[in-house]
């Protein structure tokens, strides 16, 4: 596995990380043993960067990683996220310093560590001054609890304001061949400022696979069940378009998912995608994406097959749209 630097001042990590949302059952049932087997496979493949969050299963994903760390404490750089509070009052964005400290300390305890490489603000609280938020994160850095801070689903203007106060390590947003909105300034600002860009859902929540998720196989509690891109008639239209991309990948001898990741890696050296899976079998389908070299002709053909804006349906439903910043 090739490596890339996690921001201008961060460590070198694997060019492809592992998203651990699936460990908490967001995309179907799983268990600790299966997740641990996936982590073993990730390590054997050269993956050194894990991404999780307090929100994933209300700490379950972090706890599974923490139990793995009891046996293998030094295997991975870990990124986690906080800033979304869920309590008796429901779900809300909370970037208050005291709350973030409590959230971070809870994450560290579940992860069985006293330090994480990267701590993201999962969503930004719009009414709280960015200066206050960055001051809180700077304090965590000085205390040695986090190596650097990140911001998730933000606008380019928020990145520039935050980075001017203290350098940002990474920005995480959905970015793939079916979600291209970060190209409207965010990808470019990250490159200019030396900030890593970490695309989540880079293989389109399982759609960029040799055998894409079938609509009838999506469980009632699966995140995708109420996602517009997985609802008819959008789902069928998306499947038909993706079939052309599958044929392209097959003609080159590559898996569909590895080709989708290779496209992202080709977008710039600051790209560190984090495909999510809960099984070693699915990880094997894309773990060699770094070995794919896309020519300019390949990139042009992919753009012809899946041009900007081709996907049918919004990337979130109204209930799933939890405060990503809009900037275009």
Helix (H, G, I), strand (E, B) or coil at 324: coil
Is a pLDDT exceeding 90 seen at residue 136? Answer: yes
Task: Quote the CA–CA distance of 222 and 95 in Å, as a whole number.
Answer: 28
Is a pLDDT exceeding 90 seen at residue 49? Answer: yes
Task: Quote the CA–CA distance of 27 and 279 in Å, as a whole number.
Answer: 12
Check residue 269 and give its pLDDT.
97
For residue 190, say if its preceding peptide bond is cis, omega within 30 degrees of 0. Answer: no
How much is the average pLDDT of 221-247?
A: 92
CA 160 to chain centre: 21
Task: Quote the CA–CA distance of 42 and 50 in Å, as a whole number.
Answer: 9
Is a pLDDT exceeding 80 seen at residue 223? Answer: no
What is the band of 214 on the pLDDT scale with cuts at 50, 70, 90? confident
Task: Quote the CA–CA distance of 167 and 150 in Å, as a whole number.
Answer: 10
Q: What percent of the chain has pLDDT over 90?
A: 86
Check residue 328 and give its pLDDT.
73
What is the band of 61 on the pLDDT scale with cuts at 50, 70, 90? very high
DSSP 84: E
Is a pLDDT exceeding 90 seen at residue 25? Answer: no
* Tens-digit pLDDT profile for residues 309-321: 999 999 988 878 8
Is a pLDDT exceeding 80 seen at residue 130? Answer: yes
What is the band of 326 on the pLDDT scale with cuts at 50, 70, 90? confident
Within 10 angstroms of residue 321's Cβ, the number of other Cβ atoms is 11
- Residue 224 phi, psi (nearest 5): -75, -15
How much is the average pLDDT of 14-42?
A: 92
Global pTM value:
0.95
* Tens-digit pLDDT profile for residues 255-295: 999 999 999 999 999 999 999 999 999 999 999 999 999 99
Check residue 233 and give its pLDDT.
95
Check residue 65 and give its pLDDT.
98
Task: Quote the CA–CA distance of 230 and 65 in Å, as a whole number.
Answer: 29
| CB distance 111 to 312 below 8 Å | no
Tell me the H-state helices in 166-255: 186-193, 234-252
List the catalytic residues: 56
Two tokens, residue 43: 């390590």
How much is the average pLDDT of 76-92?
A: 91
């Amino acid at each position: 596995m090739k490596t890339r630097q996690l921001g201008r001042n961060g460590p070198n990590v694997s060019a492809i990380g592992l998203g651990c949302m699936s460990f908490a059952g967001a995309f179907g049932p799983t268990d600790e043993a299966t997740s641990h087997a996936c982590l073993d496979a990730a390590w054997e493949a050269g993956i050194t960067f894990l991404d999780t969050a307090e929100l994933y299963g209300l700490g379950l994903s972090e706890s599974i990683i923490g139990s793995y760390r009891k046996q293998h404490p030094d295997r991975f750089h870990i990124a986690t996220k906080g800033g979304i509070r869920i309590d008796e009052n429901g779900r809300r964005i909370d970037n208050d310093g005291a709350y973030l400290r409590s959230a971070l300390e809870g994450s560290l305890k579940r992860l069985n560590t006293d330090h994480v490489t990267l701590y993201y603000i999962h969503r930004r609280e719009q009414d709280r001054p960015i200066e206050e938020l960055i001051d809180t994160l700077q304090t965590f850095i000085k205390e040695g609890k986090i190596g650097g801070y990140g911001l998730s689903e933000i606008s380019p203007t928020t990145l520039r304001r935050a980075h001017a106060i203290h350098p940002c390590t990474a920005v995480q947003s959905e970015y793939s061949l079916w979600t291209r909105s970060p190209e409207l300034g965010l990808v470019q600002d990250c490159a200019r400022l030396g900030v890593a860009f970490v695309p989540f859902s880079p293989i389109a929540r399982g759609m960029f696979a040799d055998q894409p998720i079938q609509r009838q196989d999506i469980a009632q509690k699966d995140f995708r069940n109420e996602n517009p891109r997985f609802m008819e008639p959008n789902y069928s239209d998306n499947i038909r378009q993706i079939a052309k991309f599958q044929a392209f990948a097959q003609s080159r001898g590559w898996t569909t998912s590895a080709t989708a990741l290779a496209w992202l890696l080709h977008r710039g050296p600051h790209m560190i995608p984090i495909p999510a899976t809960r099984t070693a079998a699915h990880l094997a389908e894309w773990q060699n994406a770094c070995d794919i070299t896309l020519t300019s002709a390949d990139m042009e053909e992919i753009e012809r097959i899946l041009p900007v804006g081709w996907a049918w349906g919004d990337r979130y439903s109204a209930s799933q749209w939890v405060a990503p910043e809009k900037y275009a």
